[in-house]
Amino acid sequence: MMNVINPSEKQAQRILIIGWDAADWMMIDPLIAKGKMPNLEKLIGNGVRANLGTLEPKLSPLLWTSITTGKTANKHGILNFVEPKPDGSGLRISRSTTRKTKALWNIFSQAGYKTNVAGWYASHPAEPVNGIIVSNGLADAVAENKKSSEEGTVHPASMHEQMNELIQTPAEFQDELLYFLLSKHKEIGSSDERVIQLKKLMSYAVSLERSIILAMQNSSWDLSMVFFETIDTMGHHFMQYRTPRMNHVSGKEERWFGEVMDRVYEWHDQSLGRILDVAGKDTTVILLSDHGFHIGEMRPNLKDLSPEKRMEKEASWHRPFGVLVASGAGIKKEAVVAPCTILDVAPTALCLMGLPTGADFDGRVLNEILDFAFKKNTIPSWDTIDGDAGLHPADLRQDPNESAASIQQLIDLGYLAALPQDVNEQIALVRRESNFNLAVSLMSQQLHNEAIDYFKLLLNEHPNNIRYVTCLSQCYSGINNTSEAVRVLRELAEQNKKNAEVWISLAQSLAIHGEIQESINVCNEAIRMIDLSLDYSEVLANTALLQNRFDEAYLHAKKAISKNPHDPICHMIISKTELYRGNFEEAAGHALDALDLTQAIPEAHYLLGVALAWYGDEESAQQSLAFAAAYDKKSPLTPLFQLAIALKEGNNSEAALFKRKYEEACMLKGELNMKEQPFDAHAFAKKNGKNLF
């Protein structure tokens, strides 16, 4: 192996990465204010905190594999919770042998560092790294109430028996912990299915904590990683019971289960304290979640949906912003974190340990949180570096793992529909969903042409699937083929005459195509179909914005904010409406409102820059636009506005630079013509007597 370690660049003594699936600041901050999460509060006080952007689709196996690889799902290859068995006999939980690229534990191991891992998605069978791995295969043992996990769950095998002794089974669940989590458990009774689920899910969390502590105590280490899925899995079962009471929840259920999620967060904080005590004070800690979780009026009611529809909608529980906390050696205390996503965790961890990032990574080093001079250190790819990275042999075929208990848990959570009896139908269903997840991942990266190919393949099998058609239409709009985007949605609307979501999608597509009056007519028809128990304020605000009906967009967005004041998207919609109505100071204010909620959206910085430019503060505008451009290199809008300002100021060299960046961004998006809007870059240039091209 080539020497890739630069000891002089190493800033952290060791790194501890803790994953809390679906942890959300909206839950954490009130609990900290009440003194209920003192360990996390101390960690934040000695470091930095931020909103962490997620990826689409918001499905945990894809996201947590992106976190540990620094790559999107189309590159790392984990596309679902489950996958077909190699022998075609059925399904199994997605495995480490399916991952197509090295994870952090492989890279650290290859660099000569010692690594511990516990519970990470798609880590089974445990890879033979320099260190200890307890794979997510441990979940099967807990779910089946067994004190023994299957072969391959623990590396090295010599520690298998010792780790098995630490398994907390639901049958031996401690009364003290049960009372802490569920104070009314005696009144409810132990036979209640929700109590059974609580014991099962929390037993797995206890087992993981014990596993990572034993691994850290076993010897010296450089990287330890532990992943707790419990906030997410418990949330899908119990967040519905939290105050304010949802319509389908009885008063008795609220009284019985209303505090469970608060106690789950408090348990995680207690666990954090125990893990930090073992890790030691000289450890740099990164704690994160892959996305958030709705807690208030935005909680979806999926109670009466069919299993298939519930599977499609279960991710609607997930908010787009997770949490990020970093503290310890190498971290600048109270630093302001720029827009960041889950893809930035792996390159930042490598940088802290003096290791280069791969040019094929999709994230960046969070240099603004580092308390040392960051020097870019990049190699083409870690995957091409020879040496022992603790990877399984390419031709490894483990004995098929039934994973029956884990698969049933996914069905209980709603992540899988009830599986058909026929094995071939099971495999076909999972392959379709995996291809859909891959296509959505490509679409979210604006790789629209690649995504279109997958959506067309899916539609060949299921031509009337609403998800497939609406996504295909979005991709056509993404490559500026708006006529085709409208065509496929017209056909879908004809087949779904009472589906409001389909008709609203058609209205949006018509507006993008320039058919404004027809778009308004279709939207009005959709409004008559809307289920009054559901809130469509945000989507109607977006639709009205596309139709240039700015007053209506403003009213819908204000209604959405009244329901969910923590949503930055609606503040951005209002910023746009004020901008398009010529109220530049108000537009800047609402862009700042969005940025107060999260710095993780480059578009909010763009809107602030545009509003400031029209207000007359071009210097500040360029600063905001530069910020937006640095963290979203694929948007043509930002360099286009930078070009307009440079032309006004007569700065020809900067104008040439921004024009080139605009053209590069257009090439990435596959489009060269964009619809002009009021007060956009074209209008700004014309106002100042300039032409952009």
Tokens of residue 255, six digits: 């009284």
Residue 3: the pLDDT is 66
Residue 417: the pLDDT is 66
Q: 């007597």: which residue's tokens?
A: 689
Averaged pLDDT, 657-671: 79
Q: Note whether 55 and 62 are within 8 A (CB).
A: yes
> Long-range contacts for 522-527 (Cβ within 8 Å, ≥24 apart)?
522/493, 523/547, 526/500, 527/500
* First-last CA distance in the chain: 51
Residue 420: the pLDDT is 75
Averaged pLDDT, 188-216: 96
Chain segment 472-500, per-residue pLDDT in tens: 999 999 988 999 999 999 999 999 999 99
Residue 316: the pLDDT is 85
Specify the higher pLDDT residue, 19 or 308.
19
What are the CA-CA distances from residue 244 to residues 241, 301, 317 (Å)?
A: 8, 13, 16
Residue 574 — very low, low, confident or very high, per pLDDT cuts 50/70/90?
A: very high
Least confident span in 358-367, 369-378, 451-460, 503-512: 369-378
Averaged pLDDT, 161-181: 95
Averaged pLDDT, 412-438: 81
Alpha-carbon distance 148 to 127, whole Å? 19
Tokens of residue 63, six digits: 């996201």
φ and ψ of 74, to 5 deg: -65, -20
What are the CA-CA distances from residue 364 to residues 349, 367, 589, 611 (Å)?
A: 11, 8, 29, 28
Residue 561: the pLDDT is 92
Specify the higher pLDDT residue, 672 or 185.
185
> Residue 337 carries which DSSP code?
P
pLDDT of 567 over the 90 cut: no
Residue 671 — very low, low, confident or very high, per pLDDT cuts 50/70/90?
A: very low
pLDDT of 22 over the 70 cut: yes
Q: Which domains does the chain have, with CATH numbers?
A: 7-408 (3.40.720.10), 560-693 (1.25.40.10)
Alpha-carbon distance 654 to 642, whole Å? 9
For the residues of 580-611, what is the DSSP string, one character each?
Answer: HTT-HHHHHHHHHHHHHH-S--HHHHHHHHHH
Averaged pLDDT, 649-675: 79
Instruction: Give the 3-state secondary structure of residue 115.
Output: strand
Mean pLDDT (the chain, rounded) = 91
Tokens of residue 57, six digits: 């689709």
Residue 397: the pLDDT is 40
pLDDT of 188 over the 60 cut: yes
Residue 464: the pLDDT is 87
What percent of the chain lies above the pLDDT cut of 90?
77
pLDDT of 402 over the 70 cut: no
pLDDT of 587 over the 60 cut: yes
What are the CA-CA distances from residue 44 to residues 28, 32, 41, 119 (Å)?
A: 12, 11, 5, 24
Residue 376: the pLDDT is 87
Which stretches of 123-172 are DSSP H helices? 138-143, 160-164
pLDDT of 415 over the 70 cut: no
Tokens of residue 289, six digits: 């979640």
B/e letters for 335-366, b = 16+ CB within 10 Å, e = fewer, are bebbbbbbbbbbbbbbbbbbbbbbebbbbbbb
B/e letters for 602-630, b = 16+ CB within 10 Å, e = fewer, are bbbbbbbbbbbbbeebbeebbebbebbbe
Averaged pLDDT, 242-258: 95
Q: Note whether 149 and 137 are within 8 A (CB).
A: yes
> Residue 153 carries which DSSP code?
S
Least confident span in 5-19, 166-180, 199-213: 5-19
Residue 416 — very low, low, confident or very high, per pLDDT cuts 50/70/90?
A: low
Residue 398: the pLDDT is 42
Alpha-carbon distance 572 to 137, whole Å? 43
Residue 532: the pLDDT is 72
Chain segment 65-112, per-residue pLDDT in tens: 999 999 999 999 999 988 988 878 888 889 999 999 999 999 999 999
pLDDT of 44 over the 50 cut: yes
